[in-house]
Amino acid sequence: MSRPFIIPLIVACALFMENMDATVISTSLPVLARDLGQNPITLKLALTAYVVGLGVFIPVCGWVADRFGARTVFRTAIGIFMAGSLLCAVSSTLPAFVGARFLQGMGGAMMVPVGRIIIFRAVPRSDLVKAIGYLTMPALFGPVIGPPLGGFITTYFHWRWIFLVNIPVSLLGLYLAGRFISNTREDQQDPLDIAGFITSALGSSLTMLGLALLGSHLVPLSWAIAMTLIGVVILVWYFRGAAHVSRPLLDPRFLQIPTFRASVLGGSLFRIGLGSVPFLLPLALQEGMGMSAFHSGMITCASAFGALFMKSIGPRVLKRYGFRNVLMINALLAGLALASFGLFTSAMPVWLILAIVVLGGFFPSLQFTCLNSIVYADIRSEDAGRATSLASVVQQLSLGLGVIIAGMTLQLSNHLQGHAHIAESDFWPAFVVVGFFSILSIPVTRRLPHDAGAEMAQRG
């Protein structure tokens, strides 16, 4: 099999495992909480522990990959994630489960960003769009397949199997990575900026943790807001100081590159909308329209068919129109597709709902592929690690922010309409708002040169 296919497929398996794990556990929280003798709200601490693990170790992933070799770090990350999964499966107390989730977060923080570095260095730029297309499929499939799969496993087997299914996938990933991936590293390795690592890790973890705790009732709202604000202040302070460091972990100077800026800043606005859908759409179908969890899960799976169809035509679309035109026009179409979910009512035919959900998978999938490809268009191979660290931190923050914005808009809509409980009509403003964030990325991508990413798009 060709390298543009097999290497992204190996990394995609790791990404699929991580996304599936995150969405499946959310579905199974009530049953899991009863087995551990905890309140389901308290058990959400396990979800936040994973987020903290991401926040601490994502900033350093690029430096570690350059220092020890991308394959070594990737396989180690899979091993850490597998160990965390196994400990989750055998946990019988809340502290043990939370600790295991933090260990999983450590592995996840390294696994996917380092996988992107591997793809960039192993695949020719002319094949990068195709390779990223294979990689982005799990990011879209995981959130829609996870809820029904989690409900099925929890109902008919046991919640511990949610984590045990990661073991064979991890073992397969370890074998394939050792068989097909080269252990690339940078010859000229700068020493680790210890102060920068501590500052960026603290700022990232506090910001992610604060966003995750907003509205969770685990801590007072003021505490969650304070964590978020303190984390943002620390990150701003870090970036101001990083401008005077030769090779910082998170280098803001990469944002001076037009293609990188469009992917990271424009992409963060798009990901706010995309990150809210796995939370908002199942809630609308179940709480708003009265569907069962399994029924709503089967409907949300329809977006995967739209994403799959896009993979067959995406490279041709980019070759004909180029990154700049596709990112601008498709951002509008993706925003309208996400906003159209607000049209759903219990009186709407199921076939029409399915058709709209399919479109809601097609246009965001194309945007996701473009953003994840063009981020490397003008990045040198020796800078891939540090560029990936910065892009990964911003991506995680924007995905978390999407859920917060969607939840706050839903609560405000419910309050303004005077409903005692969440009602069907409460959801359309939330979908309109998250769809609008996708459209907001157009002014950023509009500044791209007309020939941006021409080599990747195979134009000229």
Confidence at 217, pLDDT banded by 50, 70, 90: low
Largest distance between two CA atoms of the chain: 63
pTM as predicted: 0.80
Question: In this structure, are residues 65 and 77 in contact, taking their beta carbons and an 8 Å threshold?
Answer: no
pLDDT in tens, 414-438: 888 888 777 888 889 999 998 999 8
Mean pLDDT of 263-276: 86
Cite the beta strand spans of 118-253 per DSSP E: none
Q: Where are the domains of the chain?
A: 1-192, 193-248, 253-460
pLDDT digits over 321-365, tens only? 888 899 999 999 999 999 999 999 888 898 999 899 888 888 888
DSSP string, 59-103: TTHHHHHHHH-HHHHHHHHHHHHHHHHHHHHH--SHHHHHHHHHH
For residue 455, count other CB atoms closer than 10 A to its CB: 14
Of the ranges 136-150, 261-275, 316-330, which one carries the lowest mean pLDDT score?
136-150
Name the CATH code of domain 1-192 (choices 1.20.1250.20, 3.40.50.1980, 3.30.300.250, 3.20.20.100): 1.20.1250.20
Q: Which of 38-52, 165-179, 299-313 has the highest mean pLDDT?
A: 165-179
CA distance 115 to 135: 9
Domains 1-192 and 253-460 alike in fold: yes
Alpha-carbon distance 285 to 290, whole Å? 6
253-460: CATH architecture: Up-down Bundle (1.20)
For CA atoms 187, 190, 194, 199, give the dihedral sign: negative
